[in-house]
């Protein structure tokens, strides 16, 4: 089995389950030439992001390849959701120690499931020999001027997060035998949150016209909200008592542990976004009616950096977020 067999057998067939044609929407030339050729709508900009996962660093050794395929594409798509872009295409740079058929079968199955769910077509890539490394680049369309950036937060904005926080960090603790949820269903729920994080495309679209800034939480709430602060030249105050938790996490960990995972655990891929006072009502109406799952957790302030309060008392930030080096 050589590179070309791998591409033909496992990856060229990846798109056949999608709703579009085998080739994919907007794909004039897909996998198999020197480049792919893609059509961008005249009203859109191209949004691009790349994420790399290295075995032993970003995922544990012997991670089930199907789940790895699911997770690798989802975490990368999350960056498109965070700027409120629409997913279109992706490329895969896959480095493998050896051409293992069972591994490739399973990995490509997971990748196909995520690609189908989020209507994203594989258009190219490179398979190389070496230590297991997965680098995915996603490409999407963003309406001109309609992207949600990190740099738009304004003093007085309310800070929201979607969904619940800390679940993925709890899952990692389960995988490392540091946490044993009493309920089997809670364990399964938390692991699914880690392996198959929801990509918040729907939430991103709903808040696009209302929010001033947004980011997806990959390194931890404090670190990622910190990026919004740095790039918007503002500070932030959050009330840790407001952090949203899943029922599974509430049942599986105490308050201190939850708060630390929610603040610094990362890997949840929820959106953190800021909304000016005049738009808060519209956001709150969506959350009350159940059309948007989001929670207000604080305010954008003058100054710099993120300050944590617990019921109006300033506290030390619980942890620091993921350090890449």
Cβ-based neighbours of 66, under 8 Å, separated by 6 or more? 106, 107, 109, 110, 113
Nearer to a second copy, 37 or 183 (CB): 37
User: Which helix (H) or strand (E) covers residue 93, if one does?
Assistant: strand 86-96
Cβ-based neighbours of 313, under 8 Å, separated by 6 or more? none
Question: How far is 199 from 96, CA to CA, in rounded Å?
Answer: 26
CB of 323 to a second copy, least distance (A): 6
Question: Applying CB under 8 A, which of residues 29, 155, 242, 280 lies at the interface with a second copy?
Answer: 29
Number of residues in contact with a second copy under rule CB under 8 A: 69
Instruction: Using the CB atoms, write b or e for 44-71: b if 16+ within 10 Å.
Output: bbebebebebebeebbeeebebbbbbbb
42 binds a second copy per the rule CB under 8 A: yes
Question: Applying CB under 8 A, which of residues 17, 21, 37, 209 lies at the interface with a second copy?
Answer: 37
Nearer to a second copy, 99 or 202 (CB): 99
Cβ-based neighbours of 234, under 8 Å, separated by 6 or more? 153, 154, 155, 228, 300, 301, 302, 303, 304
Task: Give whole-number Cα distances, 208 to 81, 151, 202, in Å.
Answer: 10, 14, 10
Which residue stretch of 121-129, 166-174, 262-270, 307-315 sits at the interface with a second copy (rule: CB under 8 A)?
121-129
14 binds a second copy per the rule CB under 8 A: no
34 binds a second copy per the rule CB under 8 A: yes
Among 255, 137, 279, CA closest to 207: 279
Nearer to a second copy, 106 or 200 (CB): 200
Q: DSSP E strands: which ranges in 172-234?
A: 211-216
Question: Applying CB under 8 A, which of residues 116, 119, 196, 231 lies at the interface with a second copy?
Answer: 231
91 binds a second copy per the rule CB under 8 A: yes
CB 317 within 8 A of CB 222: yes
Question: Applying CB under 8 A, which of residues 23, 117, 149, 205 lies at the interface with a second copy?
Answer: 149
Instruction: Using the CB atoms, write b or e for 148-161: b if 16+ within 10 Å.
Output: bbbebbeeebbbbb
32 binds a second copy per the rule CB under 8 A: yes
Residue that is written with structure tokens 């939850």 in the block: 258
Nearer to a second copy, 4 or 247 (CB): 4
168 binds a second copy per the rule CB under 8 A: no
282 binds a second copy per the rule CB under 8 A: no
Nearer to a second copy, 50 or 280 (CB): 50
Among 99, 171, 168, 108, CA closest to 128: 99
86 binds a second copy per the rule CB under 8 A: no
Nearer to a second copy, 76 or 173 (CB): 76
313 binds a second copy per the rule CB under 8 A: no
83 binds a second copy per the rule CB under 8 A: yes
Q: Please provide residue 156's backbone torsions phi and psi, each rounded to the nearest 5 degrees.
A: 100, -15
Give the residues lining the site for a second copy (CB under 8 A).
1-3, 6, 28-29, 32-40, 42, 45-58, 79-80, 82-83, 85, 89, 91-93, 95-96, 98-99, 123-131, 133, 135, 137, 139-140, 142, 147, 149-151, 214-216, 231, 323-325
């Amino acid at each position: 089995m050589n590179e070309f067999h791998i591409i033909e057998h496992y990856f060229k067939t990846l798109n056949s389950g999608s709703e579009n044609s085998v080739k994919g929407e907007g794909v004039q030339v897909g996998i198999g030439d020197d480049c792919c050729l893609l059509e961008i709508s005249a009203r859109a900009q191209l949004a691009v992001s790349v994420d790399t996962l290295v075995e032993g660093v970003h995922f544990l050794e012997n991670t089930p390849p199907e789940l790895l395929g699911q997770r690798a594409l989802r975490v990368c798509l999350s960056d498109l959701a965070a700027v409120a872009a629409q997913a279109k295409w992706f490329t895969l740079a896959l480095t493998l120690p050896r051409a293992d058929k069972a591994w490739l079968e399973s990995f490509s199955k997971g990748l196909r499931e995520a690609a189908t769910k989020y209507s994203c077509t594989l258009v190219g890539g490179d398979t190389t020999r070496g230590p297991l490394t997965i680098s995915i680049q996603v490409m999407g369309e963003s309406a001109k001027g309609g992207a949600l950036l990190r740099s738009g937060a304004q003093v007085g904005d309310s800070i929201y997060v979607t969904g619940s926080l800390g679940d993925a960090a709890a899952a990692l603790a389960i995988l490392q035998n540091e946490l044993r949820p009493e309920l089997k269903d809670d364990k399964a729920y938390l692991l699914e949150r880690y392996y198959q994080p929801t990509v918040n495309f729907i939430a991103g679209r709903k808040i696009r016209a209302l929010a001033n800034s947004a980011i997806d939480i990959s390194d931890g709430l404090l670190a990622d909200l910190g990026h919004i602060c740095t790039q918007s030249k503002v500070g932030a105050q959050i009330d840790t008592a407001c952090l949203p938790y899943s029922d599974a996490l509430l049942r599986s960990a105490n308050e201190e542990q939850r708060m630390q995972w929610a603040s610094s655990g990362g890997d949840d891929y929820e959106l953190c976004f800021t909304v000016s006072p005049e738009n808060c009502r519209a956001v709150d109406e969506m959350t009350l009616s159940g059309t948007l799952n989001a929670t207000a957790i604080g305010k954008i302030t003058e100054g710099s950096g993120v300050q944590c309060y617990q019921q109006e008392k300033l506290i030390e930030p619980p942890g620091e977020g993921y350090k890449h080096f």
